[in-house]
């Protein structure tokens, strides 16, 4: 198909411009930028292995075309999110092309790049120490090395391999290369921002109950893990707590090798928090270094003498209200919960990021002992935090069904089924002091209580509760009869 004259002329002009551009870059010396050029860095880390990096560097650029190689960027950068802008002279840069070079220099990679090319093999005589050099062609570097030396083929590495140069495609550090057009002052302050994986954070809480289980002291820590492939020295650290929606990639890149080393907690300096959109943003008030392949902790919050409520809970199920079952359970476990309110009046009132709360209590000798842990979700101000710490040792329960009847057909009326059933729950307490056990039963269908030895409380449409006081080193029995219509 022939182009009309104006279109043909435009196409020729574009081709000429591209040729000039490629020629210019071919002659352009790559300008490398390292951490030595870095003036500041800010890292905002989200919950789901995602971080926003803002890297400010001071550079000198030529007028016109420049090829800028930004070294020490994250090895898990999402290149499509990278943005480079001039802070000192906004609008003075135009990005023409960018490449992320993550093929890092290693002996194996170097050997792979030399397949089909010549190298020199240096052998050392084991007795005399004399060195002999031979030319060799690398035939393969897949699961080992195959060399052609003279007229013979050898496998393995018979000596030291000497390479003439390092291929341009191999980098010693993850590098973002940008071809850009620059107009303005030579000295520029540039900000590179990008999203990256490899950085994550979670909240961990340590709480200590008092002797009577009525108050606790709690400290919150943020645990940071950096597996991104680079370090962030003296960074402004911010954390976003909340569930940020992200588009999932259809094909995920291969994950890089990951290592982690533990670091001691930082000196306490609690983070400040503010609302951000529908999330919460936490800011560390001092710079911190986030080293590569490192796990570290920084203080998040602390509170003392927070009132708590301990509850012993026996939770039932609904299957036995529509069937004859007899014994339901012997020596059933009674769960132990502690609750506290996240409000100013109770000495808290801070948005708490999701994480694990580990609870301790001091024994008679004053040594702190671990008594349980539970995971909490993001908890806003004025909400209740509820922790299950385990099951009681000295408080148990026996539960059995003492009666079950299916009502005759003529009495069913508009209901398909009507069941009358009776139950007996015996609670035993081996402690030297009385305890209160909450018995919670989920009753299905349209139900009504016919008889009971203690008054119940209807806490939801299909849930009833009894609060049963069990005497010290004694027992207490709860009996009730219920009718279920369905």
Domains of the chain, residue spans: 19-40+52-103+171-196, 107-162, 199-306, 309-342+383-485
Which token pair is 243? 């569930």
pLDDT number for residue 486? 77
- Residue 295 β-bridge partners: 225, 262
CATH number of 309-342+383-485: 2.60.40
**What is the rounded distance in angstroms from the CA atom of residue 271 to the CA atom of residue 379?**
17
Distances (CA, A) of 69 to 29, 58, 197, 231, 248: 10, 13, 21, 17, 29
Tell me the pLDDT of the chain (486 aa) as tens digits.
444 444 444 444 334 333 444 434 433 588 999 999 999 999 999 988 899 999 999 999 999 999 999 999 999 999 999 999 999 999 999 999 998 887 777 888 888 889 999 999 998 888 888 998 999 999 999 888 999 998 899 888 778 899 988 887 778 778 999 999 999 889 999 999 999 999 999 999 999 999 999 999 999 999 999 999 999 999 999 999 887 887 766 544 433 333 233 333 444 456 888 888 888 899 999 999 999 999 999 999 999 999 999 999 999 999 999 999 989 999 999 999 999 999 999 999 989 999 999 999 999 999 999 999 999 999 999 999 999 999 999 999 999 999 999 876 555 556 578 899 999 999 999 999 999 999 999 999 999 999 999 999 999 999 999 999 999 999 999 999 999 987
Write the CATH number of the domain with boundaries 19-40+52-103+171-196: 2.60.120
Domains 19-40+52-103+171-196 and 309-342+383-485 share a fold: no
Of 325, 310, 295, 285, the C-alpha closest to 222 is 295
Q: According to the model, what pLDDT value does residue 250 have?
A: 54
192: tokens are 């590179």
Angle 128-133-135 (CA atoms, 0-180°, nearest 5)? 155
Dihedral sign for Cα 21, 26, 27, 29, please: positive
Asked if 177 contacts 69 with a C-beta cutoff of 8 angstroms, the reply is yes
User: What is the pTM assigned to this prediction?
Assistant: 0.72
């Amino acid at each position: 198909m022939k182009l009309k004259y104006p279109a043909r002329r435009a196409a020729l002009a574009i081709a000429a411009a591209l040729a000039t551009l490629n020629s210019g870059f071919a002659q352009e010396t790559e300008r490398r930028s390292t951490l030595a050029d870095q003036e500041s860095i800010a890292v905002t880390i989200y919950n789901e292995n995602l971080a926003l990096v803002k890297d400010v560097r001071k550079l000198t650029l030529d007028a016109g075309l420049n090829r800028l190689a930004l070294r020490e960027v994250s090895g898990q950068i999402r290149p499509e999110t990278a943005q480079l802008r001039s802070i000192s002279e906004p609008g003075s840069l135009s990005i023409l092309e960018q490449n992320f070079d993550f093929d890092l220099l290693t002996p194996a990679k170097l050997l792979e790049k030399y397949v089909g090319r010549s190298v020199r093999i240096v052998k050392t005589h084991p007795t005399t120490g004399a060195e002999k050099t031979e030319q060799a062609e690398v035939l393969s570097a897949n699961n080992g090395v195959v060399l052609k030396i003279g007229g013979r083929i050898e496998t393995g590495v018979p000596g030291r391999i000497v390479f003439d140069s390092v291929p341009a495609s191999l980098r010693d550090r993850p590098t973002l290369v940008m071809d850009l057009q620059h107009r303005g002052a030579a000295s520029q302050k540039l900000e590179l921002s990008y999203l990256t994986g490899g950085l994550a954070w979670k909240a961990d809480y340590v709480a200590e109950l008092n002797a009577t289980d009525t108050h606790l002291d709690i400290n919150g820590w943020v645990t940071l893990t950096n597996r991104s492939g680079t370090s962030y020295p003296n960074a402004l650290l911010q954390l976003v707590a909340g569930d940020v929606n992200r588009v999932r990639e259809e094909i995920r890149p291969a994950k890089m090798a990951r290592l982690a080393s533990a670091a001691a907690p930082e000196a306490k300096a609690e983070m400040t928090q503010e609302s951000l959109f529908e999330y919460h943003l936490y800011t560390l008030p001092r710079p911190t270094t986030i080293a590569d392949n490192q796990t570290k902790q920084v203080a998040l919050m602390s509170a003392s003498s927070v009132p708590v409520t301990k509850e012993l809970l026996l939770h039932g199920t609904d299957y036995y209200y529509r069937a004859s079952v007899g014994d339901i359970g012997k020596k059933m476990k009674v769960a132990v919960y502690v609750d506290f309110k996240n409000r100013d009046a109770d000495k808290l009132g801070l948005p708490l990021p999701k994480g694990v709360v580990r609870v301790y209590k001091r024994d008679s000798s004053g040594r702190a002992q671990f008594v349980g842990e539970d995971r909490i979700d993001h908890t806003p101000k004025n909400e209740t935090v509820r922790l299950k710490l385990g099951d009681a040792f000295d408080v148990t329960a026996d539960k059995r069904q003492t009666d079950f009847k299916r009502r005759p057909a003529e009495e069913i009326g508009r209901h398909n089924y009507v069941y009358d059933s009776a139950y007996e729950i015996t609670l035993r307490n081996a402690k030297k002091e009385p305890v209160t056990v909450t018995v919670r039963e989920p009753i299905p269908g349209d139900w009504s209580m016919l008889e009971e030895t203690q008054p119940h409380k209807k806490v939801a449409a299909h849930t009833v509760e009894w609060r049963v006081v069990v005497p010290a080193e004694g027992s207490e029995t709860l009996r009730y009869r219920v009718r279920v219509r369905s």
